[in-house]
């Protein structure tokens, strides 16, 4: 589950938002049709969840399911179709009103109960056998919805109960960005076209483009400069809220050939357990595009590399001090023989709904 944003300028330090304000802003962003259209239209996302639920129908049939952050209720309906006896569809935003209508339209109101409230405030009359949730944000952890899934697990899930999906993995790789390279080179071409030398704009353009924002863009396979490197794994059956305050790992890879590294890209997979073969929802640039795309982290300057140039470092994902639902990413990295560099990235302030 992810919302779209536009880039913004980082100026003075923002005041920290209280939790109620953070929650209001978060849930309000899911009151519009646009984000739900984007998620349902993401066939990789929606079909994988559907298949993941049906592949676990033996564990769902006749059982009680809790859908955390149900949105329009599509996952709740999948669970009912898979034979669930009862589904509690918990959704705090006003889209819950539409979920009630959708459930009724599909004649499932006797098995699906839509609860319009935050997960942390609800009271159920029974423990649940299964928790299902599409909680993932950009770079996996943006929006902090996994916290609610863990809360639900600890309070409502029966011992040995099922969580769908059950695992998440984070990956990183260096990338080349020809679009950025073209934008930076543009200023050197102005004189030839107009007779005015604007090449001094290149450094300013670099600072504006290769900034400290976490940029969400689709990355093409051709731009990835190494094999993917997994740096973190989260087992949803055991991960704690304390561990989510700093998800970190190390990475090491070797470049495929001569190129320039402009950025690192981060993506994730989530895994649905199955009797025969686990089902994986991937946001990798090597797989079909999803609405999550990839999180791109630009270096301050491009670095030239050759075949087998080693790239290694440490990466840490943690909540922003200003808004705990927003993610920050800190990287310490070394490329080839260069000295170690450090950079911290954050989510831009202003959001843009896609019309």
Q: Residues with catalytic annotation?
A: 134, 143
Task: Determine how many CB atoms are found less than 10 A away from the CB of residue 178.
Answer: 13
> Could you identify the residue written with the tokens 């304000």?
21
> From CA 53, how far away is CA 274, in angstroms rounded?
9
Residue 141 CB partners (closer than 8 Å, separation 6+): 244, 247, 317, 327
Please, are residues 74 and 41 in contact by the beta-carbon 8 Å criterion? Answer: no
Please, are residues 143 and 93 in contact by the beta-carbon 8 Å criterion? Answer: no
**Contacts by residues 216-220 (CB-CB < 8 Å, ≥ 24 positions apart):** 216/4, 216/5, 216/138, 216/292, 216/293, 216/294, 216/295, 216/296, 217/293, 217/294, 217/296, 218/285, 218/289, 218/293, 218/294, 219/175, 219/265, 219/285, 219/293, 219/294, 219/296, 220/285
What are residue 131's DSSP bridge partners? 66, 163
> From CA 259, how far away is CA 226, in angstroms rounded?
11
Please, are residues 2 and 137 in contact by the beta-carbon 8 Å criterion? Answer: yes
Interstrand relation of 247-254 and 112-115 (parallel, antiparallel or unpaired): unpaired
> From CA 177, how far away is CA 342, in angstroms rounded?
20
Please, are residues 89 and 64 in contact by the beta-carbon 8 Å criterion? Answer: no
The Cα diameter of the chain in Å comes to 76
């Amino acid at each position: 589950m992810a919302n779209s944003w536009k880039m913004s300028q980082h100026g003075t330090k923002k005041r920290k938002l209280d939790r109620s304000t953070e929650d209001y802003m978060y849930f309000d962003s899911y009151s519009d049709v646009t984000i739900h259209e984007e998620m349902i239209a993401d066939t990789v996302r929606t079909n994988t969840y559907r298949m993941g639920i049906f592949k676990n129908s033996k564990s769902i049939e006749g059982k009680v399911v809790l859908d955390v952050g149900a949105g329009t209720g599509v996952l709740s309906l999948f669970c009912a179709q898979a034979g669930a006896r009862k589904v509690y569809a918990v959704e705090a935003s006003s889209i819950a009103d539409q979920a009630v209508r959708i459930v009724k339209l599909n004649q499932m109101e006797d098995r699906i109960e839509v609860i319009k409230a935050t997960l942390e405030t609800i009271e159920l009359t029974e423990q649940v056998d299964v928790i299902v949730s599409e909680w993932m944000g950009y770079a996996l952890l943006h929006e902090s919805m996994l916290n609610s899934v863990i809360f639900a697990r600890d309070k409502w899930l029966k011992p040995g109960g099922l969580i769908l999906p059950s695992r998440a993995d984070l990956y990183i790789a260096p990338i080349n960005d020809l679009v950025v390279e073209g934008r930076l080179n543009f200023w050197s071409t102005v004189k030839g076209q107009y007779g005015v030398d604007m090449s001094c704009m290149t450094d300013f353009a670099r600072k504006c483009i290769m900034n400290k924002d976490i940029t969400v863009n689709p990355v093409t396979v051709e731009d990835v400069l190494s094999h993917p490197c997994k740096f973190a794994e989260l087992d949803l059956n055991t991960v704690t809220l304390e561990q989510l305050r700093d998800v970190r790992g190390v990475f090491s890879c070797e470049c495929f050939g001569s190129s320039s590294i402009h950025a690192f890209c981060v993506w994730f997979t989530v895994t649905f357990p199955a009797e025969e073969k686990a089902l994986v929802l991937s946001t990798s640039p090597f797989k079909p595009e999803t609405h999550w795309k990839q999180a791109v982290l630009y270096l301050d300057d491009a670095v030239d590399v050759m075949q087998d140039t080693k790239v290694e470092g440490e990466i840490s994902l943690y909540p922003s001090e200003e808004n705990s639902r927003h993610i920050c990413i800190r990287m310490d990295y070394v490329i080839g023989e260069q000295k170690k560099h450090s950079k911290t990235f954050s989510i831009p302030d202003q959001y843009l709904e896609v019309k």
